[in-house]
């Protein structure tokens, strides 16, 4: 750590420049990707690493699951391909769920960067693919072998020469070869831009290596995170949360210990592995557990190897948050996205009043497909075969001083995919997409609303939904007296209720109805200001009946609070 003030300023300037490099890297992936998951939803990650495999900077664009698990993945690449053997023009690839980002649908690509013939850094990126073969994105599989093409850590490009045999194998194993091949080339281009911009930056600043800059970044970030941790009370706090699961409910149990300069989260007591594909590899467990901590502790610090180091995650092997190979893991986000809520349950005891209520958390992605054998109905060979993932979400939990966010993906951070993008590449029609009234949990701060989507097809053919939804049987809980959000529901227009998980058929002529959950509230709903309740009624977020029932607020024909009736209602309750 340099003590010279001018030298520190120079280091900070170069650090900011490095952040700009990785952001351009990430935007290159978004702009060149073929699949809507990358170019519309931003379900990617991008970052630069030193030659030891430590993440120095990450692009703002991306999801915590990809970014924080990718932060661990690069060391696996170095173990397999020692830096002394790397050559200019090499690119490596994997989708190993235990060494990448948790399931086969994510490709991680690593590219060494050379300057004047010397290795100076590594760039890595990850993208979610629309398809990787196998049974599809539903968690019906019993082993990872059923979930698609498993790509071990291997060369993708060798000294500038593309591995054509690898690409042919990929095309032969996926339902959307053009999209998947396009995304692979986008991943290569993403890292290539990062390499070019980094070399240009090093030339500009006269840097022979990133050793000093990397040490400054990691040391500064580590010290900053440790200082934030040291402001907190010391001790151990425990929390648990029951969620729907697949074949049986699942208990997520955590003990969070705050010590000098570190936070340790231990998942001892969590349910064991599932028979189905909702198991969450440890890399993804670490990614979202760490993210949950970082949302509350040191949220303004840059995310890199230094700021991540003081957070330790432990999980017993054989638990659903640390399944061994060859457990099925395709829907690992079903578990992983719930882990920040468990962390918040611990932190709320340590530092009350600083964490949000539980939210939908689990993404309600509408994963649909059509083609021979995908639906339980005879396939019309004249119809269009397709695979598509459209990213959507329910409501987040209320925040300590603000309402929850409606129809907002948290903790994943992906963007909702515009319905026009889905309709443009498939025969699907989205007949409705609207906020779900009364779905936010009542409270002094209201939970965010879910949304309702109604989806059909322009063609006389069935299609399949690959469901992996949570918060159907166990809604998001409120905090500090706040009420739970409304549960989710999956059904057909004819009234048939579908299961929240697994591949199911939407018959010819039917419409799929997806009703997404709401987030939990915070605080006593009867303490919410009547003017805010009336504003919710005017906006259509809350019905007049719910305003009376849940908040003790009567709203008149003028859509303003009826003060006398409101006083009577609230007095009667007390």
290 three-class SS: helix
CB-based contact 310:240 (threshold 8 Å): no
Q: Is the peptide bond before 313 cis (omega within 30 degrees of 0)?
A: no
Q: What is the pLDDT along the chain (574 residues), one digit of tens a residue?
A: 566 888 899 999 999 999 999 999 999 999 999 999 999 999 999 999 999 999 999 999 889 999 999 999 999 999 999 999 999 999 999 999 999 999 999 999 999 999 999 999 999 999 999 999 999 999 999 999 999 999 999 999 999 999 999 999 999 999 999 999 999 999 999 999 999 999 999 999 999 999 999 999 999 999 999 999 999 999 999 999 999 999 999 999 999 999 999 999 999 999 999 999 999 999 999 999 999 999 999 999 999 999 999 999 999 999 999 999 999 999 999 999 999 999 999 999 999 999 999 999 999 999 999 999 999 998 889 999 999 999 999 999 999 999 999 999 999 999 889 999 999 999 999 999 999 999 999 999 999 999 999 999 999 999 999 999 999 999 999 999 999 999 999 999 999 999 999 999 999 999 999 999 999 999 999 999 999 999 999 999 999 999 999 999 999 999 999 999 999 999 998 7
3-state helix, strand, coil in the chain (%, to 5): 35, 20, 45
Using alpha carbons only, give the angle 315, 318, 324 rounded to the nearest 5 degrees.
Answer: 100
- Could you tell me the CA-to-CA distances from 190 to 45, 125, 274, 513, 530 in Å, in that order? 10, 7, 36, 37, 51
Largest Cα–Cα distance of the chain, in whole Å? 80
The pTM of the whole model exceeds 0.85: yes
For the chain, the residue count is 574
Per-residue confidence (pLDDT) for residue 573, from 0 to 100: 86
Strands 512-515 and 489-492: antiparallel
CB-based contact 127:191 (threshold 8 Å): no
Element (H, E) at 195: helix 177-205
CB-based contact 329:246 (threshold 8 Å): no
Rg of the chain over all Cα atoms, to the nearest angstrom: 24
- Report the C-alpha gap between 256 and 248 in whole angstroms: 26
- Report the C-alpha gap between 307 and 436 in whole angstroms: 38
CB-based contact 281:68 (threshold 8 Å): no
Comparing CA positions, the residue from 176, 254, 194, 262 lying closest to residue 223 is 262
Comparing CA positions, the residue from 72, 131, 74 lying closest to residue 103 is 131
- Report the C-alpha gap between 107 and 172 in whole angstroms: 17
């Amino acid at each position: 750590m340099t003590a010279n003030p001018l030298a520190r300023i120079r280091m900070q300037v170069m650090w900011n420049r490095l952040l700009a490099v990785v952001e351009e890297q990430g935007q290159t992936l978004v702009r060149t990707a073929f699949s809507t998951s990358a170019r519309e939803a931003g379900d990617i990650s991008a970052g630069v690493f030193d030659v030891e495999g430590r993440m120095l900077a990450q692009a703002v664009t991306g999801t915590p699951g990809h970014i924080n698990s990718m932060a661990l993945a690069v060391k696996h690449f170095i173990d397999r391909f020692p830096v002394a053997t790397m050559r200019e023009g090499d690119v490596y690839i994997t989708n190993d769920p235990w060494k990448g980002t948790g399931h086969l649908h994510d490709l991680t690509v690593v590219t060494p960067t050379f300057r004047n013939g010397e290795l100076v850094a590594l760039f890595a990126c990850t993208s979610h693919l629309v398809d990787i073969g196998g049974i599809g994105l539903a968690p019906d599989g019993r082993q990872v072998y059923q979930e698609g093409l498993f790509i071990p850590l291997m060369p993708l490009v060798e000294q500038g020469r593309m591995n054509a045999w690898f690409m042919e194998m990929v095309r032969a194993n996926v339902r959307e070869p053009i999209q998947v091949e396009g995304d692979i080339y986008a991943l290569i281009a993403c890292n290539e831009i990062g390499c070019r911009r980094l070399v240009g930056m090093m030339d500009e600043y006269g840097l022979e290596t990133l050793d000093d800059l990397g040490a400054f970044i990691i040391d500064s970030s580590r010290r900053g995170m440790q200082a934030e941790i040291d402001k907190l009370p010391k001790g151990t706090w425990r929390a648990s949360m029951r969620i729907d699961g697949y074949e049986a409910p699942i208990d997520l149990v955590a003990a969070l210990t705050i010590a000098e300069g570190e936070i340790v989260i231990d998942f001892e007591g969590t349910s064991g592995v599932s028979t189905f594909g909702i198991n969450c590899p440890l890399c993804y467990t670490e990614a979202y557990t760490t993210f949950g901590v970082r949302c509350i502790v040191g949220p303004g610090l840059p995310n890199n190897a230094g700021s991540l180091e003081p957070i330790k995650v432990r999980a017993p092997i054989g638990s659903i948050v640390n399944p061994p190979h060859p457990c099925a893991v395709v829907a690992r986000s079903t578990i992983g996205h719930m882990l920040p809520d468990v962390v918040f349950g611990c932190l709320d005891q340590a530092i009350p009043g600083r964490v949000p209520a539980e939210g939908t958390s689990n993404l309600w992605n509408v994963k649909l497909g059509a083609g021979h054998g995908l639906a339980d109905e005879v396939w019309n060979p004249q119809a269009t075969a397709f695979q598509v993932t459209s990213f959507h979400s329910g409501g987040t939990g209320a925040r300590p001083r603000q309402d929850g966010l409606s129809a907002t993906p948290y903790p994943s951070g992906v963007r909702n995919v515009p319905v026009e993008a889905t309709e443009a590449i498939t025969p699907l029609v989205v007949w409705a997409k609207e906020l779900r009234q009364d779905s936010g949990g009542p409270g002094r701060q209201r939970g965010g609303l879910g949304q309702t989507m109604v989806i059909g097809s322009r063609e006389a053919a069935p299609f399949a939904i690959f469901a992996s939804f949570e918060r159907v049987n166990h809604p998001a809980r409120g905090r500090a007296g706040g009420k739970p959000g409304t549960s989710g529901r999956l059904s057909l227009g004819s009234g048939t209720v579908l299961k929240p998980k697994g591949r199911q058929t939407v018959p010819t002529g039917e419409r799929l109805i997806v009703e997404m959950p709401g987030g939990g509230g915070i605080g006593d709903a009867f303490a919410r200001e009547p003017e805010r309740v009336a504003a919710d009624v005017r906006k259509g977020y809350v019905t007049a009946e719910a305003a009376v029932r849940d908040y003790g607020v009567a709203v008149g024909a003028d859509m303003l609070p009826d003060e006398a009736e409101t006083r009577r209602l609230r007095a009667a309750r007390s």
